[in-house]
Structure 1
Amino acid sequence: MAISDNLKGALLMMASMAAFTINDMFMKMMTGQVPVVQLIFLRGALTTTAVSLLAWRMGAFSGRIAPRDRVFVALRTGAEICATYFFLTALSHMPLANITAILQALPLVLALAAALFLGEGFGWKRLVAIVIGFIGVMLIVRPGAEGFTIYSIYGLIAVCFVTVRDLSTRRLSRETPSMLVTWVTTVAITLVYGVVSTGVDWAPISGREALLLTLTSGSIFCGYLFSIMVMRVGEISFTAPFRYTGLLWALALGWFAFGEWPAPLTLLGAGIVAASGVFTIYREARTGRRTPLQYGPRIR
Structure 2
Amino acid sequence: MNANLKGAAMMVAAMAGFAVEDMLLKSAARDVPVGLILMIFGALGTVWFAALAKSRGDRLLNRDLLHPVVGAKSLAEIVGRLFFVLALALAPLSTVSALLQATPLVVVAGAALFFGERVGWRRWSAIAIGFAGVLIVLRPGVDLGWGSVAALLGMLGFALRDLATRGAPKSLSNMVLGVYGFLALVPAGAIMLAVTGGAGVPPAAALGLIATASVVGTGAYYALTSAMRLGEVAVVTPFRYTRLVFALILAALVFGERPDLLTLLGSAVIVGSGVYTLLRSRRETQTAAAQEI
TM-score, length-scaled by structure 1: 0.90
| Alignment match, 2:259 | 262
Which of 214, 218, 227 is residue 217 of structure 1 equivalent to?
214
Between 204-213 and 5-14, the greater mean CA deviation after superposition:
204-213
* Secondary structure of the corresponding residue to residue 33 of structure 1: coil
1:152 equivalent in alignment to 2:161: no
Measure, in 1, the Cα distance between the counterparts of 2:229 and 2:88.
Answer: 31
Deviation at 1:148, TM superposition (A): 1.9
| Structure 2 SS opposite 1:222 | helix
Asked whether the equivalents of residues 50 and 175 of structure 2 are also in contact (C-alpha less than 8 Å), the reply is: no
Please, which of 223, 228, 233 is the counterpart of residue 226 of structure 1? 223
How far has the Cα of 1:63 moved from its partner? 7.1
Shift of 1:235: 0.6
Question: 2:74 is matched by which residue type in structure 1?
Answer: T
CA–CA separation in structure 2 for the residues paired with 1:62 and 1:215: 24
1:279 corresponds in structure 2 to 276
How far residue 208 of structure 1 moved from its aligned partner, in angstroms, is 1.5
Question: Pairwise CA RMSD of aligned residues?
Answer: 1.7
Task: Work out which of the residue numbers 21, 41, 44 in structure 2 matches 1:43.
Answer: 41
Alignment partner of 2:21 out of 20, 23, 35: 23
Q: CA deviation at 1:204?
A: 3.8
> 1:70 corresponds to which letter in structure 2?
H
1:16 positional shift: 0.8
The farther-off stretch of 126-135 and 164-173 is 164-173
Equivalent in 238, 246, 258 of residue 243 of structure 2: 246
CA distance in 2, matches of 1:196, 1:160: 20
Do the aligned residues in 1 keep the contact of 2:105 with 2:274 (CA within 8 Å)?
Answer: yes
Greater shift in the superposed pair: 200-209 or 164-173: 200-209
Structure 2 length-normalised TM: 0.92
Whether 1:171 and 2:167 are equivalent positions in the alignment is yes
- Show the counterpart of 1:293: none
| Range with bigger deviation, 201-210 or 16-25 | 201-210
Aligned to 2:137: 140
| 2:58 counterpart letter in structure 1 | A
Match of 1:180 among 168, 176, 180: 176
Q: 1:63 to 1:285 in 2, by over 3 A?
A: farther
Give the whole-Å Cα distance in 2 for the aligned partners of 1:206 and 1:49.
22
Compared with structure 1, are the counterparts of its residues 194 and 61 closer, same or farther at alpha carbon in structure 2 (3 Å cutoff)?
A: farther
How has the CA–CA distance of structure 1 residues 158 and 210 changed in structure 2, closer, same or farther, with 3 Å as cutoff? closer
1:100-124 deviation per Cα after TM superposition (whole angstroms, max 9, x unaligned): 1101011111111221222111211
Q: Structure 1, residues 233-259: CA drift from partner, whole Å, max 9, x if none?
A: 111110000000001001100000000
Matches within 5 A, 1:70-149: 70-145=67-142, 147-149=143-145
1:193-249, Cα deviation, whole Å (9 max, x unpaired): 245434522244223213212211211111121122112211111000000000100
Once the two structures are superposed, residues 241-285 of structure 1 have per-residue CA deviations (whole angstroms, 9 ceiling, x without a partner) of 000000100110000000001100110110010000000000110
% of aligned pairs identical? 35
- 1:35 and 1:203 in contact (8 A); partners too: no
Contact 1:114 1:167 in 2 (8 A): yes
Letter in 2 for 1:282: L
2:5 and 2:39 map into 1 onto residues whose CA distance is 36
* Offset from partner CA, 1:148-192 (integer Å, 9 cap, x none): 212212211112222221221111232222221111112222243
- Indicate the larger mover: 260-269 or 26-35: 26-35
Query: Against the structure 1 CA distance between its residues 32 and 77, is the aligned structure 2 distance closer, same or farther, given a 3 Å change threshold?
Result: same
Maintained 8 Å contact 1:108/1:280: yes
Name the CA distance, whole Å, in 2 between partners of 1:125 and 1:141.
24
What are structure 2's unaligned runs of at least 5 residues?
Answer: 287-293
List gaps (5 residues or longer) in structure 1.
Answer: 290-300
> What is the one-letter code of the residue matched to 1:189?
L
1:189 is the counterpart of 2:175: no
Dislocated runs of 4+, deviation >4 Å: none
Instruction: Answer yes or no: is the 8 Å Cα contact 2:101–2:271 preserved in 1.
Output: yes
Structure 1 letter corresponding to 2:232: E
Deviation at 1:134, TM superposition (A): 1.0
Query: Cα–Cα, structure 1 residues 81 and 113, in superposed 2: closer, same or farther, change >3 Å?
Result: same
Q: Using the alignment, how far apart are the partners of 2:130 and 2:43 within structure 1?
A: 36
SS of equivalent to 2:208: helix
